[in-house]
Structure 1
Amino acid sequence: MLLKEITIQNYRKFKNESFSMADDITLLAGANNSGKTSMINLIASIMQNGKTPFYISDIPVSLSKQWVDEVYDTFICCFSKYEDKLSTVERIVSKLFSTESSSLKCDLIIPATSIRFKIDYYENDDIRKFADFIMDLNPNNKSFYFEYSFQPTNISFGQALEDNYKKLYARYKKIQSLEDPTSKVEQFKEVILSIYEASILEKCYFSDSNYLDKVEIEVSTFRRLFNFKYINAGRPLDDQSNGNFKSLSKNMVELATHNEKLGALLEDLPDQILSPIQDAKIIDEVRAASVTGLSNAIKTIAKASGGNTGSMILNIDINEETITSLLNQITNTKYQYEGYVLNEASQGLGYSNMIYILLQLETYKRRIDPLLVNLFVIEEPESHMHPQMQRIFGKYLKDYYLQKKIQGLITTHSGEMVRITEMKNLRVSRPLNHLESKIYDFSTFKKSLSGDTTLDTFYDWFYEIGFSDIVFADRVILYEGDTERLLIRKLLTLDTYEELNQKYIAYVQVGGAYAHKYSKVINFLKIKTLILTDLDYKKDAATVEAVEESETTNATINSYYGESKGKKSPTVLDLYKWKEKGENELFGGLALVSFQGETEQYARTLEEAMLSKFYKFNVLEKKDRNFWIQQRIADKLIYTVPNPVKPKRDDSNTDEKYSIRDIVKHTENKKTDFMYSVILKGLIEKMLPNYIKEGLEWLQK
Structure 2
Amino acid sequence: MRLDSIYIRNFRLLRRVSLDLTADLPTTVLVGPNNSGKTSVMDALRLFAGSDTDTKRISLHDLSQTRLKVFKSIEARLSKLAETEQKIEVLRRFAPRMRLDLFFSYGEDVADLVVATDLLMSLDPSSNRVRVRIEYGLENAKALLADFEARHRKDDTLCDFLNDRYRDYFGRTFYRVSEKGDEAEALKDGGVLKRLLRIDIIPAQRHVDDDESRQAAKLSRLLHDHYTRYYKVGDAEGFNAVEDALRDSATGLTKVYEGAFERLNKRLKGYGYPPGQTTPDLRIRAEFSSQAIYQDHTRVYYASEHKTAEGPVEELILPEKYNGLGYKNLIFMVLQLESFLAAVEASAVDRPRVHVIVVEEPEAHLHPQMQYVFINEISKSLEVAEGVVAQVILSTHSSHIIANSGFDPVRYFRRSGRDVSIRDLSKLTVPTPGVLDFLRRYIKLTHCDLFFADKAVFVEGQVERLLIPAMIEECANAEGCTGFASQYISISEVGGAYAHKFKPIIDFLGVPTLVITDMDSVDAAGEKCPVGDGANKRTSNACLKTWLPAKEQIADLLACDDAAKIHGRIRVAFQVAEGGNCGRSFEEAFVYANADWLTANHAQLPATGPAIAKATTNGIAAGAWDLASKLGKVDFALDLIGKPGWKAPKYIRDGLEWLAKEGIGS
Query: What TM-score, normalized by structure 2, do the two folds share?
Result: 0.83
The reply to whether residue 90 of structure 1 matches residue 85 of structure 2 is yes
The reply to whether residue 336 of structure 1 matches residue 303 of structure 2 is yes
- Distance in structure 2 (CA, Å) of the matches to 1:166 and 1:430: 44
Provide structure 2 residue ranges, at least 5 long, that are not aligned to the other structure. Answer: 306-314, 346-350, 616-620, 662-666
| Equivalent in the alignment of 2:498 | 514
Aligned-partner SS, 1:383: coil
Encode CA deviations 1:87-107: one digit per residue, 9 max, x unaligned.
Answer: 5x433113344xxxxxxxx4x
Deviation at 1:509, TM superposition (A): 0.6
| Equivalent in the alignment of 1:136 | 122
- Distance in structure 2 (CA, Å) of the matches to 1:543 and 1:210: 60
Count of equivalent residues: 619
Aligned-partner SS, 1:695: helix
- Distance in structure 1 (CA, Å) of the matches to 2:625 and 2:402: 43
- Distance in structure 2 (CA, Å) of the matches to 1:488 and 1:548: 31
Deviation at 1:285, TM superposition (A): 10
Aligned-partner SS, 1:517: helix
| Equivalent in the alignment of 2:355 | 374
Q: Is the 8 A contact 1:639 1:663 kept in 2?
A: no
Provide structure 1 residue ranges, at least 5 long, that are not aligned to the other structure. Answer: 82-86, 98-105, 172-183, 617-627, 645-656
Partner letter of residue 16 of structure 1?
R
- Distance in structure 2 (CA, Å) of the matches to 1:94 and 1:328: 54
Deviation at 1:152, TM superposition (A): 0.6
| Equivalent in the alignment of 1:201 | 171
Q: Is the 8 A contact 1:13 1:60 kept in 2?
A: yes
Deviation at 1:491, TM superposition (A): 1.8
In the TM superposition, 1:8-19 aligns within 5 A as 8-19=8-19
- Distance in structure 1 (CA, Å) of the matches to 2:213 and 2:530: 81
In the TM superposition, 1:254-273 aligns within 5 A as 254-257=225-228, 258-259=230-231, 260=235, 261-269=237-245, 271-273=247-249
| Equivalent in the alignment of 2:636 | 674
Deviation at 1:17, TM superposition (A): 0.9
- Distance in structure 2 (CA, Å) of the matches to 1:13 and 1:249: 38
In the TM superposition, 1:28-47 aligns within 5 A as 28-47=30-49
Q: Which of 618, 624, 627 is the equivalent residue of 1:663? A: 627
In the TM superposition, 1:6-85 aligns within 5 A as 6-22=6-22, 23-51=25-53, 52=55, 53-65=57-69, 67-78=70-81, 81=82
| Equivalent in the alignment of 2:517 | 533
Deviation at 1:137, TM superposition (A): 1.7
The reply to whether residue 160 of structure 1 matches residue 160 of structure 2 is no
Seen in structure 2, the aligned counterparts of structure 1 residues 383 and 294 have a Cα distance that, compared at 3 Å, is farther
In the TM superposition, 1:561-640 aligns within 5 A as 561=548, 570-578=552-560, 580=561, 582-587=563-568, 590-599=569-578, 601-615=581-595, 638=609, 640=611
Q: Is the 8 A contact 1:475 1:506 kept in 2?
A: yes
Q: Is the 8 A contact 2:465 2:492 kept in 1?
A: no
| Equivalent in the alignment of 2:618 | none
In the TM superposition, 1:415-426 aligns within 5 A as 415-426=399-410
Partner letter of residue 595 of structure 1?
F
Partner letter of residue 72 of structure 1?
E
- Distance in structure 1 (CA, Å) of the matches to 2:259 and 2:538: 104
Encode CA deviations 1:130-180: one digit per residue, 9 max, x unaligned.
Answer: 332222222221122111111114xx1221221232233x41xxxxxxxxx
The reply to whether residue 480 of structure 1 matches residue 480 of structure 2 is no
The reply to whether residue 247 of structure 1 matches residue 202 of structure 2 is no
The reply to whether residue 489 of structure 1 matches residue 469 of structure 2 is yes
Q: Is the 8 A contact 1:24 1:402 kept in 2?
A: no
| Equivalent in the alignment of 1:388 | 369
Q: Is the 8 A contact 1:126 1:371 kept in 2?
A: no
Aligned-partner SS, 2:99: strand
- Distance in structure 2 (CA, Å) of the matches to 1:189 and 1:629: 67
The reply to whether residue 691 of structure 1 matches residue 662 of structure 2 is no
Aligned-partner SS, 1:342: strand
Q: Which has more radius of gyration?
A: 1
The reply to whether residue 360 of structure 1 matches residue 336 of structure 2 is yes
| Equivalent in the alignment of 1:552 | 539
Deviation at 1:525, TM superposition (A): 1.4
- Distance in structure 2 (CA, Å) of the matches to 1:543 and 1:277: 95
| Equivalent in the alignment of 1:442 | 425
Deviation at 1:329, TM superposition (A): 2.4
- Distance in structure 2 (CA, Å) of the matches to 1:244 and 1:533: 52
| Equivalent in the alignment of 1:460 | 440
Deviation at 1:409, TM superposition (A): 1.4
Deviation at 1:527, TM superposition (A): 0.8
Aligned-partner SS, 2:591: helix
- Distance in structure 1 (CA, Å) of the matches to 2:272 and 2:4: 64
| Equivalent in the alignment of 1:148 | 134
Deviation at 1:378, TM superposition (A): 1.5
- Distance in structure 2 (CA, Å) of the matches to 1:297 and 1:216: 68
Q: Is the 8 A contact 1:382 1:412 kept in 2?
A: yes
Deviation at 1:274, TM superposition (A): 5.6
Q: Is the 8 A contact 1:287 1:314 kept in 2?
A: no
Query: What TM-score, normalized by structure 1, do the two folds share?
Result: 0.79
- Distance in structure 2 (CA, Å) of the matches to 1:598 and 1:72: 62
Aligned-partner SS, 2:414: strand
| Equivalent in the alignment of 1:700 | 660
Partner letter of residue 489 of structure 1?
P
Q: Is the 8 A contact 1:161 1:195 kept in 2?
A: no
